[in-house]
Amino acid sequence: MAEFTMELSDEQKEVKEWIHGFAADVIRPAAAEWDEREETPWPVIQEAAKVGIYSLDFYAQQFFDPSGLGIPMAMEELFWGDAGIALSIVGTGLAAIGVVANGTEEQIGTWIPQMYGTPDDVKVAAFCSSEPDAGSDVGAMRTRAVYDEAKDEWVLNGTKTWATNGGIANVHIVVAVVDPELGTKGHASFIVPPGTAGLSQGQKFKKHGIRASHTAEVVLEDVRVPGSCLLGGKEKLDERLARARERAKAGGGGERVKNAAMATFEASRPAVGAMAVGTARAAYEVALDYARTRTQFGRPIIDNQGVAFQLADMRTQIDAARLLVWRASWMASAGRPFTSAEGSMSKLYASEIAKKVTAQAVQILGGNGFTREYPVERMHRDAAIYTIFEGTSEIQRLVIARTLSGMPIR
C-alpha cells in the first residue's frame, strides 16, 4: 500500500487541474441558472460524460488510486464549482458504491455501466435507503422484501424518501427489510432494473439548497425483481441471516454490526467531507478576493483585523478539514480500520466547517453577500445539506462516541 503523503504526484496534479478546469469553465457559469430552475442539469451531465468525468472508468480510476486521494480530490474540485450541479454529476456514485460494497462481480459488471449510460445517452442511478419514518433510525425501516420462491423473485413494497435521482434514475438500489425480527441485521439491498413495474416517483422536494440536484420520494408497489437482483446473492444473505439468528439466540448483542445501508454510508463519508471542503473553499476564495478589492474608509477591508482574522480562521479550518478527509480516505484505501470512526470524524468536521465558513463569507460581503448577484448566498444555502445527508452531525457524533467507548453501533 502507498505510504501516506500530502504531496500529490504529477499525475494527480494533472487530473486535479483537469477537473478544476471543467468546474471553472462548465459548472460555475451554469450554476445560478440551474439553481433557479431547480431541475437536473442534463446538458452539464452530458458535457461531463463527453470529457470523461461522468463515467465508470473515471470513478474507477480515482477509486483505485493507491493513495486513496483520487475520489476526495475529484469531489473537492467538482463541488468547488457548484454543489447542486456537482451532486447531479456524482449522485449516481452512491448507488454504484452500494453495488460495489454488497454485490457480486457479475452484478457489478452488469449494472454499474447501466447506471451511467453513454455520452450520447446519459443515465443516472439512485440509492434509496431513507424513509419517511426511518431517516437516521435505519432500524425503523418498513420497506419489505418478500421472497417468492416459486418464481425466484423478490417482491418489494414501501416508500423511500430523500432519494437523489429518485424516480428519474435508470437503476434504483433499494434497501429493504427481509427479516423484521433481526432489526438492522435483517436488511438487504436490491437492484430495481429500468422500467420495472410498480416503481414510481412520489413527491419531488423543493429544497433550500443543492437545488440543481433532483431529490424525491420513490414509491414501491408490488415491485417484482429477479432473484439475481439481490445484491450479494441469496446464499450469502441466508448465511448472514443464520449467523444473526444464532447470535440473537445466544444473546449476543455486543458485536458491532454493519448492514447494507451502513456499509454504503461508511464508505462514502470521507467523500462527502471532501464535497463540503470544496464548497467551503469556494466561499472562502470569493470572500478573500472581495476583501482584497472592497475599500471602506480609504483602505481594503482585509486591512481591518476583524475581517483578516476571520479569513485566517476560515483558511485554517478548511485545511484542517481536508487533512481529516485525506487521512480517512488513505486509511480506507490502505485497508486500515476506522478504529476511532475516522470516516465519521472527517464528515462531521468538514460539514460543520462548510456551514461556518460560508456564513462568514456572507458576512464579509455584507449586503452584497445576501444577494444572488454573488455566489456566496447560494454556497451558504448549499452548505446546509452537509450536516444532514448521509448521516447528520448528531449521528456522526454518536458513531464516534460509541466507537471510542466500544459500544455497538446500531
Nine-digit cell string for 26: 462548465
Whole-angstrom Cα distance, residue 240 to residue 399?
Answer: 23
Mapped onto helix, strand or coil, the DSSP state of residue 368 is helix
60, burial (CB in 10 Å: exposed 0-12, middle 13-18, buried 19+): middle
Whole-angstrom Cα distance, residue 2 to residue 288?
Answer: 35
> Residue 7 to residues 12, 43, 67, 71, 74: CA-CA distances in angstroms?
10, 35, 10, 16, 16
Nine-digit cell string for 90: 456524482
Closest CA to 160 of 148, 147, 173, 171: 173
Instruction: Name residue 148's beta-bridge partners.
Output: 153
Q: Cβ distance 32 to 378 under 8 Å?
A: yes
14, burial (CB in 10 Å: exposed 0-12, middle 13-18, buried 19+): exposed
Closest CA to 68 of 261, 337, 340, 325: 325
Residue 22: DSSP 8-state: H
Residue type present at position 239:
E
Closest CA to 379 of 19, 4, 28: 28
Q: Cβ distance 322 to 346 under 8 Å?
A: no
* H or E stretch at 251: none
Give catalytic status of residue 390 as yes or no: yes
Considering the candidates 131, 266, 342, 390, report the single residue annotated as catalytic.
390
Instruction: Name residue 159's beta-bridge partners.
Output: 219
Residues belonging to the active site: 390
